[in-house]
């Protein structure tokens, strides 16, 4: 059953990759994989809203021991994720859920959380609640890798960033019913749950970023 989220990405599952390629070329995937080389020691990963699974597939390829729990509201996206995982699909557990209602099981102990271009589907207070609930299921020193859009500093960056981000929100609003219209303050949310920013990389003059946070 499709959860009652404020957005339905099912119908985008097949075309998502091509839409992304036509708009940003390889840049979003570069962003997702910016810290992949540092994730070889991860053993239990919680991947939030990975959609069609392009990051999960790379993680499974780079790390032969990691097991992944992938949570997404879209069954079609999760089917694409499992397909993309190929021979490593046995190391993936999919969970169809609205992340705003989902809680990790207490027995789970993740050493890695990943959210690429996903927190932007949530309001800041929803990211605060998510970070708080996820924090309780993490091992000591676990990492959270976040990639997303940002509005860059400086007047030109701010202007361009607002135009691009505004356009993306309008497009996703039309295509999926997403009602969120502004980027959440993920940094405030992660800090409030006790995470500390360790590393950050930017692309496209700061319009895209990838960060590693430590619990």
Residues that bind ligand SAM (CB under 6 A): 5, 7, 9, 32, 49-51, 72-74, 77, 98-100, 116-118, 121
* Minimum gap (Å) between residue 156 Cβ and ligand SAM: 26
Q: Nearer Cβ to ligand SAM, position 72 or 211?
A: 72
Q: Nearer Cβ to ligand SAM, position 73 or 85?
A: 73
Please say whether the beta carbons of 106 and 137 come within 8 A: yes
* Minimum gap (Å) between residue 132 Cβ and ligand SAM: 16
Residue 207 DSSP SS3: coil
Q: Nearer Cβ to ligand SAM, position 99 or 212?
A: 99
Core vs surface per residue 2-15: b (16+ CB within 10 A) or e: ebebbbbbeebbee
Torsion sign (Cα): 79, 82, 84, 87: negative
* Minimum gap (Å) between residue 78 Cβ and ligand SAM: 8
Q: Nearer Cβ to ligand SAM, position 56 or 159?
A: 56
Q: Nearer Cβ to ligand SAM, position 2 or 65?
A: 2
Q: How far apart are CA 86 and CA 80, in angstroms?
A: 10
- For residue 197, give the H/E element and its range: strand 196-203
The tokens describing 210, both together, are 């990838």
Tell me the CA distances in angstroms from 163 to 104, 153, 168, 205, one per residue in order: 36, 14, 9, 14
C-beta nearest to ligand SAM: residue = 51
* Minimum gap (Å) between residue 76 Cβ and ligand SAM: 9
* Minimum gap (Å) between residue 85 Cβ and ligand SAM: 14
* Minimum gap (Å) between residue 61 Cβ and ligand SAM: 16
Q: How far apart are CA 24 and CA 139, in angstroms?
A: 35
Please say whether the beta carbons of 49 and 127 come within 8 A: no
Q: Nearer Cβ to ligand SAM, position 112 or 154?
A: 112
């Amino acid at each position: 059953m499709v959860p009652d989220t404020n957005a339905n990405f099912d119908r985008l599952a097949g075309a998502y990759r091509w839409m992304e390629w036509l708009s940003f070329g390889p840049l979003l995937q570069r962003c997702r994989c910016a810290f992949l080389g540092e994730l070889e020691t991860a053993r239990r990963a919680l991947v939030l809203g990975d959609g069609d699974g392009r990051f999960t597939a790379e993680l499974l390829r780079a790390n032969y021991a990691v097991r992944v729990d992938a949570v997404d509201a879209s069954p079609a996206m999760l089917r694409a994720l499992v397909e993309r995982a190929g021979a490593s699909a046995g190391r993936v557990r999919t969970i169809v859920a609205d992340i705003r209602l989902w809680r990790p099981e207490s027995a789970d102990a993740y050493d890695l959380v990943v959210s690429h271009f996903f927190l932007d589907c949530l309001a800041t207070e929803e990211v605060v609640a998510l970070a708080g609930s996820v924090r309780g299921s993490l091992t000591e020193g676990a990492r959270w890798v976040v990639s997303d859009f940002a509005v860059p500093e400086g007047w030109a960056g701010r202007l361009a960033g607002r135009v691009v981000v505004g356009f993306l929100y309008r497009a996703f609003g039309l295509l999926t019913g997403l009602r969120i219209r502004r980027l959440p303050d993920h940094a405030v949310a992660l800090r409030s749950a006790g995470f500390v920013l360790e590393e950050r990389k930017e692309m496209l003059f700061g319009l895209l970023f990838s960060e590693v946070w430590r619990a």
